[in-house]
Chains A and B, each alone.
Chain A
Amino acid sequence: MTLHRTSIIALAMAACLTAPWPVLADETLKIGVIATLEGPFTVLGQEGIRGVRVAVNEFGGAVAGKKIELIEQATDATPDSAVRAARTLVEQKGVKLIIGPLSGDEGLAVKDYAKTQPDVTFVNGASAAQDFTLRNPAPNVFRFSTDGAQWNAGLGTYAYQVKGYKNVAIVAEDYSFPYTQVFGFLAEFCKAGGRVASKSWVPIGNKDFSSVIAAIPDNVDAIYVALGGSDAVNFLSQYQQAGGSAPIIGGSITVDQNVLQSKGKAREVLIGTPSSGPVAELTDSPAWNTFAAAYKKQPDAFPSPSIFALSYYVDAKPLLMALQRTGADLSDGGKKLRETLSKISYESPTGKISLDKNRNAIANEFITEVAVASDGTLYKKLVKVVSQTNQTLGFPEAEFIAMGPVGRDKPTCGK
């Protein structure tokens, strides 16, 4: 009997479900934004959204006479949630243009999904996974920001030759993004003649690094650290508490804004730390200053744009440019738009950006050192520009591909 009733309620629910979803038919252009707005990486996702908004504001909120409607879809940094977000945008909300996602593995998942939706155009948010574009690329996926290995271009050479670090220890989180970063760092560092004393791949979720710190050999010249967010804060403050004295070389997100602006003692350890990535305080560049000023108008913005704000921005802007040029006409399934996109070359706040044959950016990277600004905040002081870095870090493509996909023991360092 109970069943009988249950069936009726379920039936009623099923009936509700078939109600048609309202479709907006007017002159707005819907752009989906996938960003991490749940869980520990929420701050980064909010940064990404700020970046997109800055780009949209630059166009006055409209392209080719059509008003831009941003539809934000939250993920929790897991690949599954990214695919779910993309599906909701494409299949339910009828979005044909997507910006995002934020993290490496999310990017790989969205790339796979993109292959099933050839009429939808995807530009990256801040995913830095190499194989978002390098191996098995999708023809409708574009990355105007760079990958995690590119972010560390020049850093290995700089650490070896300028800083004189011959022997380093590596501490990094145990998943694909830090693998990519370590890959980028070591590819050059080992080629220059550097040696790796120890590698600690710390499982994600570990908070207590003190034993990892104790296991670092005493005789290293420096420690390369690729940890993000609160993990970076934990490592740095514990390193200081343990009285550690070896200098730190920072991975790109280890010295990003959210760590620099963290509250507590961790930041003191960072002063003077060399690092590299797609962002630096380019106070001499008008393009950068304009961007930074526009960024600061966003609510709750950091003192300076983070990697994530910049990445979403440099990816969103060419999409808007291409839309402008093609009259925002997607009636051909976005074919013309993608053709235009793949040929775009433009002056971003951090210099010229163009695409290679896999639709991955060739762009400037920056070697920076952490310094104290006049108002007491930390910032990334520019040391050196690594001009127009490509995805193979200047290695011949065949040689680079032969190093294999990133992993715990790639590249092998002279062993």
Chain B
Amino acid sequence: MSEFAGKDRIAARSVGRSEVGAGHALFGLALLAYPAVASDFFLTQIGGLSLIEGMIALSLMTLAGYGGMVSLAQLSVAGIAGYVVAILGHNDTGVQGYDWPWAVTVPLAILAAAATSALIGWISARTSGIYTIMITLAIATAVFYFAQQNYVIFNGHSGFAGIPAPVFFGEDWRAPVPFYYLCLFAAAASYAGVLYVRRSTFGLTVQGMRDNERRMRALGFSVILHKVFAWFLSGIVAGIAGVLLVWFHGRISPSSIDVAASLNILVMAVIGGLRHPIGPFVGALVVVLLQTFASDLVGAERFNTLIGLTFLIIVYISDDGILGLWRQFAPRFDHADRSAG
């Protein structure tokens, strides 16, 4: 046992490949087997939703954790994808809705989201730190209000309803089990993608810029170009999540992308932890669980206090959310391992 752990550590140090090691395999198997034990409700409302919102939080986390740019606009980016699906595909609202096939609308939606994200990145590229949070908050609010006030394209406050998930390969992809696997596949792909990019030359360059922008500029890197491309990539993740989210709810309206919901994504990412891409998913799961069951714990009327307090306490005692707590306490076990080995 200890020998195993030791080997693992050495492997991690030398090639950093432990990430596709035993932990991942076990965890992946558990996720794959989850439908065998979970009810439909737990499968979609907890499992599916956590994966989707986790992806949006992941989009935020990659920018924040690797690029040092905390964006509150990633939910808006996801919302753009959702709106594109609602507008170009089918909806029951009687506004827009061109009934294009999903094979066309989905790539367009993801592309639109990524392009929007890149645009936001370009606008905010010169800001840093708290100012990036603020400019993206302003952009998110502007998008929300525009969608709420515009009836020609966005159908205003009412938004769109009756947006179906596609049926292909003989499966209705909104049925609980297929939908869960769809979300799992998308989340796993995004997660793996983030891990890959993080180690790529591009990813390392962006992390270099986070740590010392001037030095990277002096080395001849185009900071703006790299930042914008990072935003583009994170926009793809948010876009995929946006498509899944609109299939999940079957509807989209400005309230899906309002300021409170955007802050919620930040809350997820922070609760989970901003230093590793598993963090956003952990955070999303915690928040979704709280949102679903808090009202059973403390009654329907005071559950915001519980959510707020949970968030407050985690931020207060840990410098990197739940992952940070894990790191604070886990080294002791690690140490025990080492001495035994």
A residues bordering B, Cβ < 8 Å? 1-11, 13-15, 17-18, 20-21, 37-38, 72-74, 76, 78-81, 83-84, 87-88, 91-92, 105, 108-109, 112-113, 116, 135-136, 174-176, 203-204, 405, 407-408
Contact = CB atoms under 8 A, between A and B. Distances in A.
A93 to B, nearest CB: 9
A88 B281 CA distance: 21
B332 to A, nearest CB: 12
B38 interface: yes
Given A108-B158, A136-B92, A176-B158, A3 B276 contact: yes
A405 B93 CA distance: 11
Contact of A408 (B9, B151, B260, B282): B151
B145 interface: yes
A72 B148 CA distance: 29
Contacts of A174: 149, 156-157
A5 B330 contact: yes
By DSSP majority rule, is chain A's interface helix, strand, loop, or mixed?
helix
B52 to A, nearest CB: 13
Contact of A72 (B45, B300, B322, B327): B300
14 contacts: A2-B276, A10-B27, A17-B46, A20-B39, A21-B39, A74-B295, A76-B260, A80-B251, A88-B292, A91-B44, A92-B292, A175-B158, A407-B151, A408-B151
Given A83-B250, A112-B92, 12 more contacts: A1-B18, A4-B22, A10-B281, A18-B34, A21-B39, A78-B253, A88-B292, A92-B45, A113-B250, A174-B157, A405-B94, A407-B151
A81 B31 CA distance: 27
A112 B42 CA distance: 22
A6 B322 CA distance: 9
Given A6-B276, A11-B27, A83 B323 contact: no
Contacts of A8: 23
B37 to A, nearest CB: 4
A21 B281 CA distance: 23
A162 to B, nearest CB: 34
B79 to A, nearest CB: 11
A313 to B, nearest CB: 19
B18 A17 contact: no
A176 B157 contact: yes
B148 A73 contact: no
Contacts of B149: 174, 203
Given A91-B45, A108-B161, A175-B156, A2 B8 contact: no
Contact of B295 (A73, A80, A136): A73
Nearest to A5: B330
A203 B9 contact: no
B250 to A, nearest CB: 7
Contact of B45 (A11, A87, A175, A203): A87
B94 A105 contact: no
A6 B326 contact: yes
A17 B42 contact: yes
Interface string B113-149: 0000000000000000000000000000000010011
Contacts of A84: 291
A1 B292 contact: no
Contacts of A18: 34, 37-38, 42
B301 to A, nearest CB: 5
A79 B251 contact: yes
CB-based closest 4 A-B pairs: A78-B255, A7-B23, A175-B157, A18-B37
A79 B41 CA distance: 20
B24 A3 contact: yes
Nearest to B40: A91
A175 B291 CA distance: 27
B26 interface: yes
Given A14-B31, A18-B38, A6 B161 contact: no
B341 interface: no
A1 B334 contact: yes
Nearest to B275: A2
A4 B326 contact: no
A322 B47 CA distance: 37
Contacts of B256: 78, 80
A74 B300 contact: yes
Given A4-B18, A8-B23, A74 B278 contact: no
Contacts of B295: 73-74
B102 interface: no
